[in-house]
Amino acid sequence: MEYKRLKGGPKSHYSDSFRRKVCEEILAGKIHQAGARRKYSINGGIISRWLKWYQKNHDIVLNPPVMTEQESQELETLKRHAKELEAALAAASLRIAGLETLIDVAEEHLKIDIRKKPGTKQ
């Protein structure tokens, strides 16, 4: 999407890709507006207008909402629950591997097929 000037305004000598690059650096936190102004020798008001335009046209929120205490507690609970589930999954995988090995050894030792073959009649 191209940056549109107001009618009758001066023609900008900054390309759209340059504006986008500056805005993305600022929004990513790599540089502050003042740093961008010094680095690229740009007026601070221009950078502010670029950021407003970029945020409006790209649905970007500069200051995301802060989590409440209840939300942060829920997040911690979910993280703890995820760790418990991962541990249970690891234990179940280990158990399955042990049972598979047990079946393999029993089949080899007894010389019979223990596993049910797909498509066999019951």
The stretch 54-62 carries a mean pLDDT of 68
Report the pLDDT value the prediction gives residue 59, as an integer from 0 to 100: 62
**For residue 96, is it within any domain?**
yes
Q: Is residue 83 domain-shared with residue 99, that is, in the same domain?
A: yes
Establish if 122 belongs to a structural domain.
no
Domain annotation covers residue 119: no
Same domain, 70 and 53: no
Higher-confidence residue of 23 and 77: namely 77
pLDDT at position 65: 64
pLDDT for residue 62:
54
Across 22-31, 52-61, 69-78, 85-94, which has the greatest mean pLDDT?
85-94
Number of structural domains in the chain = 2
CA-nearest of 67, 107, 19, 109 to 117 is 107
Q: What is the pLDDT of residue 61?
A: 55
2 occurs within a structural domain: no
What range defines the domain where residue 93 resides?
Answer: 66-114
What share of the chain has pLDDT > 90, as a percent?
32
Verdict on whether the full-model pTM lies above 0.85 = no
Q: Are residues 21 and 52 both part of a single domain?
A: yes
Q: What is the mean pLDDT of residues 100-109?
A: 94
Q: Which residues contact 2 (CB under 8 A, 6 or more apart)?
A: 16
Mean predicted confidence (pLDDT) in 13-30? 83
Within a domain: 6? no
Average pLDDT, integer, range 77-97: 97
